[in-house]
Chain A
Amino acid sequence: MDKQTIETMVGVLDARMNRQLKEYLDICVRCAICKDACHQYVATQDMKYLPARRAELLREIYRKYFTKTGQFLPDLYEAREPDENMLDELYESTYACTGCRRCTFYCPFSIDTAWITSISKAILIAAGRGNEMLGQLADAEIFKGDNAEMFHDSTIDGFKDIETQVREMTGNPNAEIPVDRQGADILYVALAGAHSILPAAVIFNEAGASWTLSFFESANYGFFFGDPAKAKLIADRFMNEAKRLGVKEVVITECGHAYRVAEMFYEAWAKEKMPFRVRHILEVIDEYIKEGRITVDAAAIAERVTYHDPCQIGRNGGIFEQPRDIVRSIAPDFVDMTPNRDKQWCCGGGGGIVAMEEFNDVRLKSGGKKVEQIRATGASVLACPCENCRLQINELNEVHDLGLRIVPVMELVVEAMPLLGTRSVTQ
């Protein structure tokens, strides 16, 4: 590997260094308690998926260039100059990581391996080894932000079609999907596709909410790619829209990483405090049900329902009870998986891995724990508020013949709403 590439990689590590990262890199005792916490290591027993090993690769570079002891006694500390072989392993272990932070949960020192792998991604990008697919998807999102007028008419046409469906479902000819509404209370940021707009639009209309739909989708491939600058540009699109419209809150759709990006990361990237709060759509819907702003039939979902805590919403986002309260309010036969909440197994579909075909094998294998968990509940419906989790569990559903109906929580809510229209949400 040429000297200049190494210098660039070391420069990136230097620029991203912070107190927590330094502590994580210094204090790991390699006890490997994390091995039993990682769905990928448990499924494959492959060292490159052992969380401490994923981090150890970055540590080897850190020791070589950032510690005197590593420079003085490289063999003792396993301080290594990066080479192509190392980057191969780093690439596979890093981009395969779903960032679920279950290893952090079980680590006696709470070492955040997902945070370490996010730095590893930055180093890989510096070496020209970033994942191409995620990079292209991120660039496409940024392009849409820079050329919004190019997409304007077709996007609005799409919204109008969904608005017609909302009117058919609610029986309310005045139901609408407002876009660009100045002074609305809520800016709702959906995903590409009607499935994340339609149920929310029905609920907002029935609740009489003051809302407006973002022109942009919340998914953030810059975050998965590992480039905070790109991730910020992608999130800027709806954050700037929210500022311009003067909303009181940004509400993120049923998407795990988008919620975490908006709630946990964005203000740090933007270096400013936003003049609005960020909430997950399920926090809002839970409030609407509890305040009686929407009506739901308590026995609407007769089948047994279970709930999957997406890592970025649960363990990493703090939303555990609201989705359960919602599901319990419409499905009398609700059964939780074991373990659940902060100990929930990652389904294996996070971190952008569903978009990278090269990891299909490990991805599907690593869903084994989730399959066991789902089977043990005996449920036939899985409520799941994350797009990537749904994609993964849908595939597991097919491969393992689970006979499961996998739905966003808000879609179940709409199924349980006594609407006056003739059309159903699943039509």
Chain B
Amino acid sequence: MDWFSYLTSGIGVYLGLGVFTAGMAWRVWQWVRTPKSPVRLGMFPKPRTAAGRFGKLLKDTFVAPQSFETAAMLMAFALAFHLAALAAFVGHLRLIHEFTPLVAVLGIEGMNTFAAWSGGAAGIVMLLAVLYWIGRRTFGAYRKLSTPEDYLLLALLLGIVVMGDHLRFLGGLHAATYQAWFASLMAFRPSFPPELASSATRFALDWHMLFVDAFLVYFPFSKLTHAVGAFATNLVRSSE
């Protein structure tokens, strides 16, 4: 690994995951240690039972039907982005361990084809969503609401997605190659397998990882903490 690869696809990954994990734990602790609101903040109507409230919490957080009613286009992009990001995340788990049952059914070639289609679709959806958000934030009537933080996050997402799509569509390498690199990361001896080290694709991977590392480091100190906080605030909506 050269120094740039070592920084982005080696120790940067540890740094990103470490700061993300500790940062999110710290963030949640900051919330938990602050006393709850003494006054009742719930809204009506709300379910009468705890199970009903939990169900509403899940619906409000994962589907947000009210938001869809008033901003269908934005919410469609948001839902598509989050689902695609989830799909991409699940797909990346293949780098840790091959999805053996799927390979047994599809065969390794079939699995690679399936990954190419599903990963490709997720990558395109995420790219379109990020471009839509950038456009909306830059040209919308309420653009003055946006802060530099909003653009920084969109820039990081754009970097991750563009370089990820580059790897998916132009990289020409399949999971097995990346698995070797991932195995080295998990053994705390980061290195690239020869096929990756000698490939031009390495450059795209390093930049993909640079954006990912920065994104992970920045996550706990940004509005992205809504990933956890939204559960708490949506629960308050249905609280007593």
A contact set with B: CB distance below 8 Å:
17-24, 26-33, 35-37, 45, 47, 50, 52-53, 56, 69, 75-78, 101, 104-112, 115, 264-265, 268-269, 271, 314-318, 320, 341-342
Please, how many angstroms separate the alpha-carbon atoms of A36 and B70 in the complex? 7
Interface residue ranges of B18-47 to A (CB < 8 Å): 27, 30-32, 34-41, 43-46
Please, how many angstroms separate the alpha-carbon atoms of A164 and B157 in the complex? 73
> CB distance A32 to B40 under 8 Å?
no
Most buried by A among B36, B45, B69, B233: B233
B2 lies within 8 A of chain A by Cβ: no
10 inter-chain pairs at a CB distance below 8 angstroms, sorted by A residue, are A21-B37, A24-B233, A33-B67, A52-B145, A78-B147, A109-B234, A112-B236, A268-B40, A341-B45, A342-B44
Q: How far is the CB of B133 from chain A (nearest CB, A)?
A: 9
Please, how many angstroms separate the alpha-carbon atoms of A241 and B170 in the complex? 78
> CB distance B67 to A108 under 8 Å?
yes
> CB distance A78 to B38 under 8 Å?
no
Q: Which of B109-117, B118-126, B148-156 contacts A (4 or more CB under 8 A)?
A: B148-156
Q: Which of B86-94, B197-205, B221-229 contacts A (4 or more CB under 8 A)?
A: B221-229
Please, how many angstroms separate the alpha-carbon atoms of A93 and B41 in the complex? 21
Q: Given that A30-B223, A106-B66, A108-B64 are known contacts, is A320 also in contact with B45, CB under 8 Å in the complex?
A: yes
Given contacts A18-B36, A32-B145, A110-B236, 17 further A-B contacts (CB under 8 A): A19-B232, A22-B30, A26-B31, A26-B223, A26-B225, A27-B226, A29-B226, A30-B223, A50-B145, A53-B144, A76-B149, A105-B43, A108-B64, A108-B230, A109-B230, A110-B60, A111-B233
Q: How far is the CB of A62 from chain B (nearest CB, A)?
A: 12
Closest to A66 in B: B30
Q: Given that A318-B44, A320-B44 are known contacts, is A104 also in contact with B237, CB under 8 Å in the complex?
A: yes
> CB distance A18 to B34 under 8 Å?
yes
Most buried by B among A23, A50, A314, A316: A23
Name the A residues within 8 Å of B36 (CB-CB): 18-20
Q: Given that A20-B37, A264-B39 are known contacts, is A108 also in contact with B75, CB under 8 Å in the complex?
A: yes
> CB distance A315 to B44 under 8 Å?
yes
Name the A residues within 8 Å of B27 (CB-CB): 26
B105 lies within 8 A of chain A by Cβ: no
Name the B residues within 8 Å of A110 (CB-CB): 43, 60, 233-234, 236-237
Q: How far is the CB of A338 from chain B (nearest CB, A)?
A: 13
> CB distance B142 to A50 under 8 Å?
yes
Please, how many angstroms separate the alpha-carbon atoms of A108 and B70 in the complex? 11
Closest to A67 in B: B221
Name the A residues within 8 Å of B38 (CB-CB): 18, 268-269, 271
Name the A residues within 8 Å of B177 (CB-CB): none
Please, how many angstroms separate the alpha-carbon atoms of A269 and B38 in the complex? 8
Closest to B27 in A: A26
Q: How far is the CB of A122 from chain B (nearest CB, A)?
A: 13
Name the A residues within 8 Å of B236 (CB-CB): 20, 110, 112
Closest to B237 in A: A110
Name the B residues within 8 Å of A19 (CB-CB): 31-32, 34-37, 232
B107 lies within 8 A of chain A by Cβ: no
> CB distance A318 to B45 under 8 Å?
yes
Name the A residues within 8 Å of B75 (CB-CB): 33, 108
Please, how many angstroms separate the alpha-carbon atoms of A400 and B158 in the complex? 50
Q: Mark B55-83, 1 if CB is under 8 A from A, else 0.
A: 00000110010110111001100100000
Interface residue ranges of B128-152 to A (CB < 8 Å): 140-142, 144-150, 152
Q: Given that A78-B148, A101-B43, A316-B43 are known contacts, is A106 also in contact with B34, CB under 8 Å in the complex?
A: no
Please, how many angstroms separate the alpha-carbon atoms of A101 and B44 in the complex? 11
> CB distance B229 to A26 under 8 Å?
yes
Please, how many angstroms separate the alpha-carbon atoms of A27 and B230 in the complex? 7
Please, how many angstroms separate the alpha-carbon atoms of A29 and B151 in the complex? 11
> CB distance B43 to A342 under 8 Å?
yes
Please, how many angstroms separate the alpha-carbon atoms of A78 and B70 in the complex? 28
Q: Given that A27-B230, A268-B39 are known contacts, is A35 also in contact with B44, CB under 8 Å in the complex?
A: no
> CB distance B142 to A47 under 8 Å?
yes
Closest to B60 in A: A110
> CB distance A342 to B149 under 8 Å?
no
Name the B residues within 8 Å of A318 (CB-CB): 44-46
> CB distance A22 to B34 under 8 Å?
yes
Quick one: which of B40, B46, B146, B229 contacts A265, CB cutoff 8 A? B40
Q: How far is the CB of A100 from chain B (nearest CB, A)?
A: 11
Q: How far is the CB of A27 from chain B (nearest CB, A)?
A: 4
The 8 closest A-B pairs by CB, nearest first: A318-B44, A110-B237, A27-B229, A27-B226, A268-B38, A108-B64, A268-B39, A108-B67
> CB distance A32 to B223 under 8 Å?
no
Please, how many angstroms separate the alpha-carbon atoms of A269 and B37 in the complex? 11
Name the B residues within 8 Å of A18 (CB-CB): 34-38
Name the A residues within 8 Å of B78 (CB-CB): 31, 108
Q: How far is the CB of B44 from chain A (nearest CB, A)?
A: 4
Closest to B140 in A: A32
> CB distance B147 to A47 under 8 Å?
no
Quick one: which of A22, A30, A108, A264 contacts B40, CB cutoff 8 A? A264
> CB distance A105 to B31 under 8 Å?
no
Please, how many angstroms separate the alpha-carbon atoms of A416 and B201 in the complex? 81
> CB distance B41 to A112 under 8 Å?
yes
Most buried by B among A31, A37, A52, A269: A31
Closest to A260 in B: B40
Please, how many angstroms separate the alpha-carbon atoms of A271 and B145 in the complex? 38
> CB distance B149 to A35 under 8 Å?
no
> CB distance A315 to B142 under 8 Å?
no
Name the B residues within 8 Å of A101 (CB-CB): 43
